Amino acid sequence: MDFSNRLQNLPTQFFATLVKKVAAAIAEGRDVINLGQGNPDQPTPQHIVKAMQEAVENPNTHKYSPFRGTNELKQAAADFYKREYNVELDPELEVAILFGTKAGLVELPLALMNEGELLLLPDPGYPDYLSGAALANITYDTMPLHRAKGFLPDYEALTNDQKEKAKLLYLNYPNNPTGAVATSKFFEETVRVGKKHDIGIVHDFAYGAIGFDGEKPISFMETEGAKEVGIELYTLSKTYNMAGWRVGFAVGNAKMIEAINLLQDHLFVSIFPAVQHAATIALTGNQDCVDELVSLYERRRNTLINECKRIGWEVTAPKGSFFAWLPVPEGFQSEEFADHLLEKADVAVAAGVGFGSYGEGYVRVGLLVDEERIIEAISRIEKLDVF
């Protein structure tokens, strides 16, 4: 039996290809330092694990969850946004529980767009944004992110046709893969564009907790008028090292939230209640673990940047996320350079072109190994004499 057209039209899964290359090298017995992954390397904090263990032992969690998530978790999400960003949310109307925010980002075009409508996406950007476009059979255009503009899209560069046809616009700050952060002025401009052209704004806030040099990343929801035009998606994967737990939420515009909930009513019966309880404890409990995690990533960032500069690799320190966006040396394309590092130095990085055509000329490096391995990786690259 043939796959449906929807499945046949899906883009190649970039990360799956990268994983295969790394796995093949490891299978040969090579000591690969994997800087290409986006999987947090630290364990989930113990108090969250304990909350999960206790919840699993409670027979009440063994039943179906309410279709739209537990009241406890929705209230916790609202309380989290009030505490962290001074944003008021109605937990019933302005919060949707998600199986991780990847699911929400892929679902949104199905929930809010009709075939042939236009989605605006950042380039470079998270590759799975394209999966939602393919499944919904919609069209998309990309918004280039240039270093000169702080890796923020230039709305003035959009054509009138694009602005009039666009139904949704995706953003992601702190940014994957560039590590850039948004400014209040940029988010204010985003609200104006959304209102003027009736474009729904979707802000992927996956790395919302991870900002460096004493600067806390700002939430799109903090911007006046944000709830009138859009939503924000927040995952517990990065903030609390809960990547495998698959839990997150969307907040903001009530109509967009209802669209997500209605679609999920027909796809799922929400998340295992014990996971939702543990997520509640994560959001409402002591946040020292988050501060410690951000400090860890900042130390790793500083080590990476210092080591790169030591070998003559002129790089810019990321302001947020747990990624660094590093230029490739002259004479290489991004995928060619990534393959060269894996083959000759047993160092894995993600080729920038995998995140879009404007990612060419860069590689993405994750801050997801300890400092000693970062130092070793750059020492191996130094021996290749490419800088």
Say what the pLDDT of residue 85 is: 98
Per-residue confidence at 116, pLDDT binned at 50, 70, 90?
Answer: confident
Q: What CATH number should be reported for the domain whose range is 5-44+288-382?
A: 3.90.1150.10
What type of residue sits at position 26?
I
Q: What is the pLDDT of residues 21-30, one digit of tens each?
A: 999 999 999 9
Say what the pLDDT of residue 216 is: 96
Instruction: Give SS3 for 365.
Output: strand
Q: What is the pLDDT of residues 57-103, one digit of tens each?
A: 999 999 999 999 999 999 999 999 999 999 999 999 999 999 999 99
Say what the pLDDT of residue 160 is: 95
Q: In the CATH scheme, what architecture does the domain 63-284 have?
A: 3-Layer(aba) Sandwich (3.40)
Instruction: Answer yes or no: is pLDDT of 17 > 90.
Output: no
Q: What is the pLDDT of residues 153-174, one digit of tens each?
A: 999 999 999 999 999 999 999 9
Q: Residues 347, 341: contact at Cβ < 8 Å?
A: yes
% of the chain exceeding 70 in pLDDT: 100
Q: Residues 65, 55: contact at Cβ < 8 Å?
A: no
Q: What is the pLDDT of residues 272-282, one digit of tens each?
A: 999 999 999 99
For 145, other C-beta atoms within 10 Å of its C-beta total 25
Q: What is the pLDDT of residues 169-185, one digit of tens each?
A: 999 999 999 999 999 99
Q: pTM for this one? A: 0.96
Q: In angstroms, rounded to a whole number, what is the distance separating the alpha carbons of residues 53 and 368?
A: 26
Per-residue confidence at 18, pLDDT binned at 50, 70, 90?
Answer: confident
Query: Phi, psi (5° rounding) for residue 118?
Result: -105, 130
Say what the pLDDT of residue 105 is: 97
Cα 315 to Cα 134, 175, 362, 387: the distances in Å are: 35, 17, 10, 12
> Which part of the chain has CATH 3.40.640.10?
63-284
Q: Residues 347, 377: contact at Cβ < 8 Å?
A: yes
Instruction: Answer yes or no: is pLDDT of 14 > 80.
Output: no
> Which part of the chain has CATH 3.90.1150.10?
5-44+288-382
Per-residue confidence at 259, pLDDT binned at 50, 70, 90?
Answer: very high
Q: In angstroms, rounded to a whole number, what is the distance separating the alpha carbons of residues 280 and 210?
A: 20
Q: What is the pLDDT of residues 211-242, one digit of tens each?
A: 999 999 999 999 999 999 999 999 999 999 99
Q: What is the mean pLDDT of residues 31-56?
A: 97
Q: In angstroms, rounded to a whole number, what is the distance separating the alpha carbons of residues 178 and 181?
A: 9
Q: b vs e for 74-110, b when ≥16 Cβ sit within 10 Å of the residue's Cβ?
A: bbbbbebbeebbebebebeebbbbbbbbbbbbbbbbb
Q: What is the pLDDT of residues 340-381, one digit of tens each?
A: 999 999 999 999 999 999 999 999 999 999 999 999 999 999
Instruction: Answer yes or no: is pLDDT of 320 > 90.
Output: yes
Q: Residues 169, 162: contact at Cβ < 8 Å?
A: no
Query: Phi, psi (5° rounding) for residue 203?
Result: -105, 115
- Please provide the average confidence, as pLDDT, over all residues in the chain: 96
The residue assigned the tokens 């839990």 is 247
Q: What is the mean pLDDT of residues 281-303?
A: 98
Q: What is the pLDDT of residues 130-148, one digit of tens each?
A: 999 999 999 999 999 999 9
Q: In angstroms, rounded to a whole number, what is the distance separating the alpha carbons of residues 230 and 239?
A: 22
Per-residue confidence at 13, pLDDT binned at 50, 70, 90?
Answer: confident
Return all residues near 119 (Cβ < 8 A) that are at least 6 apart: 109, 113, 132, 133, 138, 139, 140, 141, 166, 167, 168, 169, 170
